[in-house]
Amino acid sequence: MFSIYSPQLVTTQEEYLLAYQNYQKLSESAISEIGKGAKSLLDASRRRLQYWDISNDQIQKLEDSGQVRKSLTIYASSSGMVEHKNAIEGARVLTGQNLFSIANLDKIWVLAHIFEYELPWIKIGQTVEMELPYIPGKQFTGKVDYIYPYLDAKTRDVKIRLIFDNPSYELKPQMYANVTISAQSKEQQIVVPSEAVIRTGERNTVFLVVATGKFRPRNIILGPEGQDGLIAVVAGLSEGDVIVTSAQFLLDSESRLREVIQKMLESRME
C-alpha cells in the first residue's frame, strides 16, 4: 500500500537484529536458562515488528541481510477494492490516522427494512431474491444473515442484513435494490380479511353471522398479517364460522363502538 519511515520503526528493527544475533550466539549455551531467555527476548522483539504490520517475509529479509531499512513497505492484510485513499507521498502520518479503506466485494451485505408486523415471517437463513434497477429482469439469490435487535422508533421498521455472492462484482456499495422474501407459515391457520377486523385499541372484534340478518360480535386474537390483506387468527374463530368481511359503520368515536358492541352482547344474554 505504501512505504513509511518512522524513528520508532527503525529502532524496533535494530532491537530485533540485536535480539536475533544474541539468540544465535546463546541458543547453544550449556545453560538452558540463558538460551530460553534469549529466545524469549527474540520473540518479544518479533511481536513488536508484527504489531507494526511488518510481514514475516520482511522479517526474514531483515535476518538474512542484517541491515536496518530506513523505510518499510506496509502491505494490506487482505485483498479487496480500495474505497478511500488518504495516503499522500511525503505526508506526515499521525497515530490512529486512517490511510486506506479496503473492502472485499466477493460477498455483499444488503440492508433491508421491514415493518414490525412482518417480523414473524422473517427467519435467519431464509432465501431472498433481489433485483437491481440497472439490471432489469436479472435476479440475485441470497439469504437472511442477521436480524437487528432493535426497532427504529421513527419509521417503525426493523433492519435486517442479507448476504449475496458477488463473483462478477455487479453488486456495488450504496446501490438501491428491490428485495423479495418468500415466507410461508409452517402450519395451516384461519385467516380473515384485514378490513373485517374492528380494532378498538383494547380488543380486536369481528361480527359473526348467526342467522340471516343477525350478527354477533366476537373478540379474536390476531397473528401475523400477510401482504395479500389476510391476517391470521390465533384464537376466537373456528373453521366454518361465517363473518362479515366488508361493511360500513357510522361511528362517532371509539366509545360509540364500545356501546354498540355492549348492547349487542346484552341483547344476546337476554
pLDDT tens, per residue, the chain with 270 residues: 777 777 888 888 888 888 888 888 777 666 777 778 888 888 898 888 888 788 888 888 888 888 888 887 877 766 767 777 777 777 777 677 777 777 778 888 889 888 877 787 788 888 898 888 888 888 888 899 999 888 888 888 889 999 998 888 888 888 888 888 877 655 667 777 777 777 776 777 777 777 776 777 777 777 766 666 777 777 877 777 777 776 544 433 444 566 666 666 655 555
pTM over 0.85: no
Q: How many CA atoms lie within 13 A of 117 on its CB side?
A: 11
* Cell numbers describing residue 102: 479496503
* Cell numbers describing residue 264: 349487542
Q: How many CA atoms lie within 13 A of 102 on its CB side?
A: 12
Residue keyed to cell 412482518: 118
φ and ψ at residue 117, rounded to 5 degrees: -75, -15
C-alpha dihedral sign at 243, 245, 251, 254: positive
Distance CA 123, CA 145 (A): 9
CA distances from 208 to 214, 245, 263 (A): 9, 10, 15
For residue 190, what are the β-bridge partners? 233
